[in-house]
Structure 1
Amino acid sequence: MAIVRTHKPLDWRAIAAVAAGETLILSADAQAKIRSARALVEQIVARSIRAYGVNTGVGALCDVVVSQDEQHDLSHNILMSHAVGVGESLGAEETRAIMAAAINNFAHGHSGVRLDVVERLAALLDANCLPEVPAFGSVGYLSHMAHIALVCVGAGHVRWNGERLSGAQALHRLGLQPLSLEAKEGLSLVNGTPCVTGLAALALERAERLLDWADVVAAMSFENLGGQIAAFDTRSLAFRVSPGLACVGERLRAALAGSSLLEISLGRRTQDPLSVRTIPHVHGAARDTLAATIEVVNRELASVTDNPIVAGTPESPQVYSQAHAVGASIALAMDSLATAIAQVAAMAERRLDRLVNPLVSGLPAFLAHTGGTRSGFMIAQYTAASLVAQNRREAAPASLDGGVTSGLQEDHLCHATPAALKALAIIENSNRILGIELLAAAQAYDLQPLGAARAPYTDALYASVRASVPTYRDDRPLSEDMTFAFRLVANGAPPPLSGPARGDSTAGTREANVDIAPAQGATGVAVNTYPGVIGV
């Protein structure tokens, strides 16, 4: 179903949907707002009203006046000088998300670019003809959108249908001419926070899915370790006020209902280790952080983040040249979400360690079928520990990195886009950690010395794994199984619970007892590397 940008801003789910391949359409209202803003810029130019980046230079050159004859060159040259990204290119979803966020920002009607410019971005999206956007080189914004905008003027490169083309070649195949930018358009194309809001929308989607998996994988480990189900008691959890904690507690009770393994373990210990009994507290805190981050991202999408902003009427145009392009709030939110997900993954690795440690698990050492000649999951735990350590390094707050640029003019930097990129990296690492825990929990079920039944839900989840991955006997590289588990967790939702809504501590999430559609790639093709597995 197409996503329509009306007079109302898109929210993060809409951006994520476009990133996954949905078409983005501008309504007549949105088009009218864009045209009205352009009329204001034309009046500013005609009346020589001083406006940053319209008839002045940018950055430390903001006091250098630019004549009308030079304003085209200024816009064009801004793209060339700001296209300074380095490193590997962003993925298709990441690029589409940024482009969708940029279109949303222009449709507020306060940027002043021509409708032709916005429609050019929409045409590239619609054709899935995606600019090459180097991932690194931004202290906040600028470089990512500059590389996207290059294609609009026939420069840069794209990836299209598996082929690398120059921007000029791509436009020719689309039957389009390179745009000649006019006053302010170069600055508006690189300015604002579309890069971080687009990436943040993807981070929210992936974090929400990860937290759903974290609950059910933790339930499997809890059951294997004979945890004391009283830790998830409704009355006990109610003493702490947290929507996320209440949500996770209900999900865990639903996942573990009817477990004979847990019935046998009742009263065995007074308290379980913290990595076992505080699952609602840690996962719940992460859900509360996710809810807060959703609010910030949606506010950012609803905000005008251009500089300068144009407003007023053609008879009395107004220019606001302040600091709305700086994404301090979303940088802090991305840092917070990254830390929350890193903590969830760190505790998953601790449960994994307990599963493989015969001193505490009551299971064969390292979940190996034969001791001595087989190592089982011994070294897989090393991998998880390594990823936890990497997450810890990545979780250092980008928003505090600071720096000074543009000849002291830009002497405070929030690093919002790097914060979002770090969050995405931590989510990916954490999916891998959860995948390893999922495999280990399935292996632990195979080796359970107790002849008791699993809960119906965990039994179904175990069966879905075993439908594609047999018990591990050191008979194949374990990394292949780990790749399967990573894709399972990263690309699809877990089997639905009959309890509370998915992520119901956040606004607008879907119901848990509704089937979740397979994850879609940017081309709209379902990712299903392992057919027959629930949730993929």
Structure 2
Amino acid sequence: MAVIRSNRPLDWAQVAAVAAGEPLELSADARARIAAARVLVEQIVERGIRAYGVNTGVGALCDVIVSPGEQRTLSRNILMSHAVGVGAPLGVAETRAIMAAAVNNFAHGHSGIRLEVADQLVALLNADCLPEVPAFGSVGYLSHMAHIALVCIGEGYVRFRGERLKGRDALQRIGLEPLVLEAKEGLSMVNGTPCVTGLAALALARAERLLDWTDMVASMSFENLRGQLAAFDEASLALRISPGLNKVGERMRAALADSGILAAVVGHRTQDPLSMRTIPHVHGAARDVLAATAEVVDRELASITDNPIVAGTPEDPRVYSQAHAVGASIALAMDSLATAIAQVAAMAERRLDRLVNPLVSGLPAFLAEPGGTCSGFMIAQYTAASLVAQNRRLALPASLDGGITSGLQEDHLCHATPAALKALEIIDNGGRIVAIELLAATQAYDLQSIDAPRAPHTEALWQRVRRVVPAYRDDRPLADDMSIAFRMIADEAPPPLPNPGNIGPRPVTSAGGAALTPPATLTRLAAAGHVRAAASGAVNDGQAAAHMA
């Protein structure tokens, strides 16, 4: 399927679909808007209207006038001087997400690039000929897009079919020529918030999947630890006003329906520990943050984030050289999402600790073979504790880091892109913590002393894990099993729950009206005309899940 940038901006789910490998297309009206904005820049140049980065320098050099004969040089030099990223390159999905968000921004029709520039980016994206973009070195948005833009002019490096190529050689491989940038194009290609919006879309997709898995893994731990189902009572949870909380309660009731283990322990305790009975409250709060963050990211994708913005008509061109490229709102949203996922993962580690602790679990110590020669999951819990601590450090708000750049001209910084990068790292760490809990909960079922059946859904989860990971007996490095479980959580959707219509109210949806699952997201996009089906017209659940990997 192709994601089409039409008269409507892309939303976060579409950007995530492109990041996962879907091609991107510009509709005729999007192309017309890009071309019309270029006419405005040409008029600004012809009339000598002062415009930041068009006929002036940039940053603290904004009052230095650049002559028409120097404007091509300015555009090229902006890319050269702004390509200052350091560290390991971003991954494929991250790079694709940023490029998709950049094309989306140009398609608003207020950037002023030529259509050839947008087409060059789309061609690179669709050929999977991806610029090498160092991950670090940006306080806002400049360096990442500069490294992407370098390839359009034949500079920089790309990864193409397993090879690292120079930009010029890569363009030749896919039948393109290096561009010579005109007035404003250099600045337009590094400006705006595509870096953070692209990365944020990816973070949303990964966080959504992780939360789905965390609910299900928590249900396994809850059953193994013989919790009291009253924690998920529908009438009780409805007293708290939170769409996320009530959605999680519904999911837990569905996952644990018909559990013989839990039926055997009804009323044995007045209440369970907080890491068990607050699953709806903590997971639900994270889902509420996810929905709020999705709204912010969609607003950002619908916004013009250039500096300067060109507007008006060819007869009366306007230039707004202000601050729309500052990503304060999305920086705050990314910090919030990162904290929410860190808290969910921290509680997963607490449930894991209960599973391996014989003083509270009623299970063999550390889920190990008896006799003292086996450590079982003892040290795996250390790994989870370490990742929780790492997440705590990462969750410090990037949006408050501040700093001063460009000779006091840029004396307030929001660090939006770094906020998104650390959110992605926290989500990955969270996935690893939940993967360890998944393995431990699966092992706990093998050691249960209660002779009663598991819930049908947790049985399906147990079988899914056991198809790829046998019971652990200290007979192999546990790290390998942890890696398999992490890839399962990162790359696949959990088994579908029983029909929600049979267990309670309708599923809570995101702000856009879509159930917070990857297949439903794609269904929404198709219904809205944003995603064109492949020739067969068929998309199964496995394919849909892959789009949000």
Partner of 2:512: 507
Q: AA paired with 1:377? A: F
Partner of 2:129: 129
Task: Check 1:22–1:503 CA distance in 2 against 1; reply closer, same or farther (3 A cut).
Answer: farther
Q: Work out whether residues 244 and 505 of structure 1, in 8 Å CA contact, stay in contact via their aligned partners in 2.
A: no
Q: AA paired with 2:541? A: I
Q: AA paired with 2:183? A: A
Q: Work out whether residues 55 and 65 of structure 1, in 8 Å CA contact, stay in contact via their aligned partners in 2.
A: yes
Question: Is 1:421 equivalent to 2:426 in the alignment?
Answer: no
Partner of 1:246: 246
Deviation string 1:93-140 (CA, Å, 9 cap, x unpaired) is: 100000000000000000000000000000101110000000000001
Q: Pick which of 262-271 and 300-309 moved more.
A: 262-271
Q: AA paired with 1:347? A: M
* Partner-residue secondary structure (3-state), 2:542: coil
Q: CA deviation at 1:510?
A: 4.3
Q: AA paired with 1:10? A: L
* Partner-residue secondary structure (3-state), 1:53: coil
Q: How does 1:370-449 map to 2 (within 5 A)?
A: 370-449=370-449
In 2: Cα distance, 1:271 partner to 1:183 partner: 68
Partner of 1:11: 11
Q: CA deviation at 1:300?
A: 0.1
Q: Work out whether residues 147 and 156 of structure 1, in 8 Å CA contact, stay in contact via their aligned partners in 2.
A: yes
Q: CA deviation at 1:506?
A: 4.8
Q: How does 1:165-184 map to 2 (within 5 A)?
A: 165-184=165-184
Partner of 2:482: 482
Task: Check 1:226–1:368 CA distance in 2 against 1; reply closer, same or farther (3 A cut).
Answer: same
Q: Work out whether residues 307 and 321 of structure 1, in 8 Å CA contact, stay in contact via their aligned partners in 2.
A: yes
Partner of 1:329: 329
Let me know the Cα RMSD of the aligned residues.
1.5
Deviation string 1:2-21 (CA, Å, 9 cap, x unpaired) is: 11111110000110111111
Identity %: 75
Q: CA deviation at 1:498?
A: 2.4
Q: Work out whether residues 139 and 415 of structure 1, in 8 Å CA contact, stay in contact via their aligned partners in 2.
A: yes
Partner of 2:318: 318
Q: Work out whether residues 100 and 198 of structure 1, in 8 Å CA contact, stay in contact via their aligned partners in 2.
A: yes
In 2: Cα distance, 1:519 partner to 1:469 partner: 25
Partner of 1:99: 99
Task: Check 1:314–1:27 CA distance in 2 against 1; reply closer, same or farther (3 A cut).
Answer: same
Q: CA deviation at 1:482?
A: 0.3
* Partner-residue secondary structure (3-state), 2:135: strand
Q: Mind listing any 5+ residue stretches in structure 1 that lack a counterpart?
A: 528-536
Q: AA paired with 1:191? A: N
Q: How does 1:14-413 map to 2 (within 5 A)?
A: 14-413=14-413
Q: AA paired with 1:183? A: A
Deviation string 1:466-488 (CA, Å, 9 cap, x unpaired) is: 11111111111111100000000
Q: Work out whether residues 328 and 416 of structure 1, in 8 Å CA contact, stay in contact via their aligned partners in 2.
A: yes
* Partner-residue secondary structure (3-state), 1:431: helix
Task: Check 1:219–1:232 CA distance in 2 against 1; reply closer, same or farther (3 A cut).
Answer: same
Q: CA deviation at 1:71?
A: 0.3
Q: May I ask how many residue pairs the two structures share in their alignment?
A: 524
TM-score with structure 2 setting the length: 0.94
In 2: Cα distance, 1:459 partner to 1:9 partner: 42
Q: Work out whether residues 492 and 519 of structure 1, in 8 Å CA contact, stay in contact via their aligned partners in 2.
A: no
* Partner-residue secondary structure (3-state), 1:469: coil
Q: Mind listing any 5+ residue stretches in structure 2 that lack a counterpart?
A: 501-505, 521-539
Deviation string 1:331-360 (CA, Å, 9 cap, x unpaired) is: 000000000000000000000000000000
In 1: Cα distance, 2:511 partner to 2:381 partner: 32
Q: Work out whether residues 243 and 508 of structure 2, in 8 Å CA contact, stay in contact via their aligned partners in 1.
A: no
In 1: Cα distance, 2:450 partner to 2:33 partner: 67
Q: AA paired with 2:340? A: A
TM-score with structure 1 setting the length: 0.96
